Structure 1
Amino acid sequence: MKNIVKLMKSAGIAVVAGVLIMACSQALQVSYDYDSSVNLKQFKTFKVEAEHNMESDPLLGSELNRRRLGDAVKEVMEAKGYKYDQQSPELIVRFMTDVKDRQQVRSNNMYSPYMWWYGGGNNISTYNYQESRFILNIYQKNSDKMIWQGWASGKVKAPTKKEDRETMVKNTMTDILRTFPQATQDTYSRK
Structure 2
Amino acid sequence: MKNWNFKIKNILYIGLLGILLTACSQALQVSYDYDSSVNLKQFKTFKVEAELNMEQDPLLGSELNRRRLQDAVVEVMLSKGYTQVADTPEITVRFMTDVKDRQQVRSNNMYSPYMWWYGGGNNISTYNYQESRFILNIYQNTSDRMIWQGWASGKVKAPTKKEDRQTMVKNTIADILRTFPEATLDTYSRN
Q: TM-score range by the shorter chain?
A: 0.7 to 0.9
Which letter does structure 2 place at the counterpart of 1:31?
A: S
Q: Which residue of 1 aligns with 2:78?
A: 78
> Do the aligned residues in 1 keep the contact of 2:81 with 2:182 (CA within 8 Å)?
yes
What's the CA shift string for 1:118-145, capped at 9, x where partnerless?
2223221111000111110000111111
Q: Which residue of 2 aligns with 1:89?
A: 89
Which letter does structure 1 place at the counterpart of 2:63?
A: E
Residues 157 and 26 (structure 1), Cα distance of their counterparts in 2 relative to 1, 3 Å cut: closer
Q: Which residue of 1 aligns with 2:105?
A: 105
Which letter does structure 2 place at the counterpart of 1:65?
A: N
Q: Aligned equivalents of 1:33 and 1:120: distance in 2?
A: 46
Q: Aligned equivalents of 1:121 and 1:140: distance in 2?
A: 56
Matched, 1:122 2:122: yes
What's the CA shift string for 1:141-180, capped at 9, x where partnerless?
1111111111111111111111111111000100000010
Q: Which residue of 2 aligns with 1:31?
A: 31
Gaps of 5+ in 2: 1-22
CA RMSD of aligned residues (A): 1.8
Q: CA deviation at 1:86?
A: 1.3
1:162-181 → structure 2 map (5 Å cutoff): 162-181=162-181
Q: CA deviation at 1:117?
A: 1.0
Q: CA deviation at 1:186?
A: 2.2
Report the 3-state secondary structure (helix = DSSP H, G, I; strand = E; otherwise coil) of the residue aligned with 2:186.
helix
> Runs (4+) of structure 1 moved beyond 2 Å?
none
Which letter does structure 2 place at the counterpart of 1:161?
A: K
What's the CA shift string for 1:37-60, capped at 9, x where partnerless?
111111111000000000110011
Question: How high is the sequence identity, in percent, across the aligned residues?
Answer: 87
TM-score (norm 1): 0.83
> Do the aligned residues in 1 keep the contact of 2:137 with 2:149 (CA within 8 Å)?
yes
Gaps of 5+ in 1: 1-22
TM-score (norm 2): 0.83
Q: Aligned equivalents of 2:45 and 2:118: distance in 1?
A: 70
Q: Aligned equivalents of 1:113 and 1:86: distance in 2?
A: 71
Which letter does structure 2 place at the counterpart of 1:80?
A: K
> Do the aligned residues in 1 keep the contact of 2:26 with 2:155 (CA within 8 Å)?
no
Q: Aligned equivalents of 2:31 and 2:122: distance in 1?
A: 36
Matched, 1:156 2:150: no
Q: Which residue of 2 aligns with 1:135?
A: 135
Q: Which residue of 1 aligns with 2:20?
A: none
Report the 3-state secondary structure (helix = DSSP H, G, I; strand = E; otherwise coil) of the residue aligned with 1:120.
coil
Q: How many residues align?
A: 166
